[in-house]
Each structure stands twice: as structure tokens, then as C-alpha cells.
Amino acid sequence: MILASVLGIFAVFGAIRPAPDLAELRSEPALVAPATAEERRRNERESFYGLFGNYEAYVKAVYVVDGGENDAYRAWLDAYGDQYQFYESASGGYAARVMGASVRIEVLSPQKLTHPEYRSFNFLQRGKVVLVVTVRGSGHYEDLAAIISSDAISAK
């Protein structure tokens, strides 16, 4: 009886998966650079749902973009502003909610380039910025949620 109950719980929770999955996140439009940009790195993680924790799927793309911070922001906002309806966030940067999706674009301080994840981009010359676009899935599969955080760091 106990074994049947445990198996029933696993069957129910096994049929439920966190959403969206990695393939859906990869197709998010904001991951496509709307401006002349060179993609330098892409990190991905599939979602995991279990008894010992839940992990949301995400895709993080790192671009080097010609121009300044405003140019990089303007390129993404012009290309995707109608879709995401960005507004200035009280905590800085831009944010949006679209059909359950949370979207955030944030300018990082130059100190962020000292973080190991960004250290390899510290060689940038004047007139270049690093733009990081992250799409993170959260919530239920039926209620697609994504977080896009774009971090632009201007080279000094």
C-alpha cells in the first residue's frame, strides 16, 4: 500500500515538468542579436524538477557589440520593445512582463568585468560593450515565464 502510494506520487510528479524546456528557451527572439554583435559564449541548463530542488532552464548568450551602452540597449529595445513592452525598472535597467514572462535588461558596473564569468572580456577596446542576454524559464509549463537580463558594460 505504501509502495503504491509512493509510486503514484512519483507518477504524478513525473508527468509534471518545469517549463519551459531548454528547446523553447533557445527559440526566444531576444537571444538573436538585432545589431552587429559577435556572440562570444553561450551557456545553457535544462530544467530539473525533483524532491531535492528545482532548477529552471536557462540560456545565457554573451555578445560583444560595437558602440556604447546606449547603442547596445537601443538595438535590443528597438528590435524587441513592441514584443516585450519594456519600462524603466525601479531597481535600474529595464523590465517587462509579457504573457507570464519576466524580462529584465540591466547595465552592470565595470567592476562586474572582474567576475570570473566576464574576466575574459576585460580586454575590450574603447567603443565596444559586452551585452549578456539571459532567458530563464520559471513557473508552470502552461504559464510560460522567462527572464531576459541584458547586461551591458562599456569598455573604458
pLDDT of 113: 62
What's the domain count of the chain? 1
> Is residue 2 included in any domain, yes or no?
no
Decide if 42 is inside a domain.
yes
Provide the β-strand partners of residue 105.
94, 150
Distance (Å, whole) CA 9 – CA 39? 43
Kindly report the average pLDDT of the chain as a whole number: 68
83 lies in which domain range? 17-154
Dihedrals phi, psi of 114, to nearest 5 degrees: -80, -15
- 131 close to 152: Cβ distance less than 8 angstroms: yes
Q: Is the pLDDT of residue 156 over 80?
A: no
Lowest-pLDDT choice from 38-42, 67-71, 135-139: 135-139
In a domain, 120, yes or no: yes
- Does some domain include residue 147? yes
The reply to whether 44 falls in a domain is yes
Query: Distance between CA 136 and CA 147 in Å, rounded?
Result: 5
Residue 145 is predicted with a pLDDT of 34
Pairing of strands 87-88, 94-98: antiparallel
pTM: 0.67
Does the residue 7 lie in any domain? no
For residue 133, being part of any structural domain is answered with yes
pLDDT in tens, 85-109: 877 877 666 766 655 445 556 655 5
Gap between the Cα atoms of 65 and 131, Å rounded:
7
19 contacts 139 by C-beta, under 8 angstroms: yes
Return the beta strands (E) in the chain as ranges. Answer: 37-45, 48-50, 53-55, 58-66, 87-88, 94-98, 101-105, 128-137, 146-154
Q: Which pLDDT belongs to residue 23? A: 82
Domain assignment present for residue 52? The answer is yes
